[in-house]
């Protein structure tokens, strides 16, 4: 079974989200947790961006032992040189250089022709290879690029020495079938593509980053760029925890695997929240506080009988707390009785019925019913 490399860019693209900046110490702390998580590549930052980012990438390179450490660089000599200085002490360094390939970016941002763009991309990769054996090239805005031109650029950078070619959906524009087709087409049309790893990097502007990334994997991509909690520019990046667990839970369907230690997912998510102060939305897949919570009576009854009825993965698989039965107006007698038993109360059927009727009255007044409320209900039910 093929292995998909997980490229975590929380410390680079994720940090670019407003309010997510980290100092060097916080970045190192988070990078070490990413290493415990088992990601293959840690993109530590954008060394040319600031002295602080340079120092952070340099410290990460010195501390990380198992994962590849990447730094980002535009297709400019000064960026590439600065990037190398930041990662040169890494056990497994990678220079990640990028240049836009869509006509939209060429016309409105770069002011370059297609031929000039291809030449700049080749020159950047050739320069990076003078410093580093592992060079990734990203064709920014690849999903909106002319496909024959994109393929010609990728062929040229592979000849120049790139070891990974990344196909970003930079603005989250693609549909899953469309993005999967793009990866498949690149693999069919670029004659030297077998020399490199093909990578995905999808944004979530239409809520499709994970779906697009998985479509890329199904069509031959063997590296996925993603972030913890899906943080990143605008609506964010593809969520690492969702990609990894989709592959793990549906392995027979996906027919690939990752090296991620899934039991560290929840801890890594919570560390990011601690470092940045940005909470995870309650209904976030895998790591949200409601991901393993059940309020509906039918669901609670099923979970009490066999968790597999309504949980496709165990909370402990991702290192999360045990499933929660949240008592509210949608809850049933079975869940209420289970909670009473956990509090030390064994009620006969008549008493339970009285307590349940009163429970519904309380539940209609407030969002959830706490344990103290339940104790009061038991006392009143016994007194009647």
CA–CA separation, 220 vs 103, rounded Å?
26
Nearest to 29 by CA among 275, 382, 286: 275
At 322 the three-state DSSP class reads coil
pLDDT in tens, 40-68: 999 999 999 999 999 999 999 999 999 99
Question: Is the pLDDT score of 384 beyond 80?
Answer: no
CA–CA separation, 136 vs 38, rounded Å?
20
pLDDT of residue 182: 98
CA–CA separation, 68 vs 368, rounded Å?
46
Residue 235 CB neighbour total at 10 angstroms: 15
Instruction: Measure Cα distances from 146 to 2, 39, 186 in Å.
Output: 30, 32, 12
pLDDT of residue 367: 79
Which range (71-85, 87-101, 292-306) has the least confidence?
292-306
Which range (28-37, 268-277, 326-335) has the least confidence?
326-335
CA–CA separation, 99 vs 72, rounded Å?
11
Q: Is the pTM of this model over 0.75?
A: yes
The token pair at 96 is 């990640």
Distance of CA 153 to the CA centre of its chain: 28
Residue 259 CB neighbour total at 10 angstroms: 14
pLDDT in tens, 146-194: 999 999 999 999 999 999 999 999 999 999 999 999 999 999 999 999 9
CA–CA separation, 27 vs 15, rounded Å?
10
pLDDT in tens, 187-222: 999 999 999 999 999 999 999 999 999 999 999 999
Give me the percent of the chain exceeding a pLDDT of 90. Answer: 76
Asked if 217 and 262 count as a contact pair (C-beta separation under 8 A), the reply is no
Domains of the chain with CATH codes: 2-276 (3.20.20.70), 293-383 (no CATH)
Contacts of 73 (CB under 8 A, 6+ apart): 46, 47, 48, 79, 80, 82, 83, 95, 96, 97, 98, 124, 128
């Amino acid at each position: 079974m093929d292995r998909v490399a997980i490229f975590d860019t929380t410390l680079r693209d994720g940090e670019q989200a407003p309010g997510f900046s980290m100092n060097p110490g916080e970045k190192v702390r988070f990078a070490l947790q990413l290493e415990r998580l088992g990601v293959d590549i840690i993109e530590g930052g954008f060394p040319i961006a600031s002295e602080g980012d340079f120092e952070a990438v340099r410290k990460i390179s010195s501390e990380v032992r198992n994962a590849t450490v990447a730094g980002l660089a535009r297709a400019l000599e000064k960026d590439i040189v600065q990037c190398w200085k930041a990662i040169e002490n890494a056990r497994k360094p990678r220079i990640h250089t990028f240049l836009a390939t869509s006509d939209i970016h060429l016309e409105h941002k770069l002011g370059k022709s297609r031929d000039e763009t291809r030449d700049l991309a080749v020159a950047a990769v050739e320069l990076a290879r003078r410093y580093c054996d592992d060079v990734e090239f990203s064709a920014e805005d690849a999903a909106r690029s002319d496909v024959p031109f994109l393929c010609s650029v990728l062929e040229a950078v592979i000849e120049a020495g790139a070891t990974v070619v990344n196909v970003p959906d930079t603005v989250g524009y693609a549909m899953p079938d469309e993005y999967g087709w793009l990866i498949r087409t690149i693999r069919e049309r670029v004659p030297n593509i077998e020399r490199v790893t093909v990578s995905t990097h999808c944004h979530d502007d239409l809520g499709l980053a994970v779906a697009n990334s998985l479509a890329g994997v199904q069509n031959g991509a063997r590296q996925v760029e993603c972030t913890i909690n899906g943080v990143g520019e605008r609506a964010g990046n593809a969520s690492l925890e969702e990609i990894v667990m989709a592959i793990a839970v549906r392995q027979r369907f996906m027919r690939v695997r990752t090296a991620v230690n899934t039991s560290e997912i929840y801890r890594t998510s919570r560390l990011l929240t601690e470092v940045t102060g940005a909470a995870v939305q309650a209904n976030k897949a895998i790591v949200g506080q409601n991901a393993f919570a059940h309020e509906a009576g039918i669901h609670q009854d099923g979970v009490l009988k066999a968790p597999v009825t309504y949980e496709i993965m165990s909370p402990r698989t991702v290192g999360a707390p045990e499933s929660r039965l949240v008592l509210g107006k949608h809850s049933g007698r079975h869940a209420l009785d289970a909670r009473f038993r956990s509090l030390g109360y064994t009620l006969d059927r008549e008493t339970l019925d009285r307590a349940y009727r009163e429970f519904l009255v309380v539940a209609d007044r407030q969002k959830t019913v706490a344990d103290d409320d339940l104790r009061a209900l038991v006392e009143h039910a016994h007194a009647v």
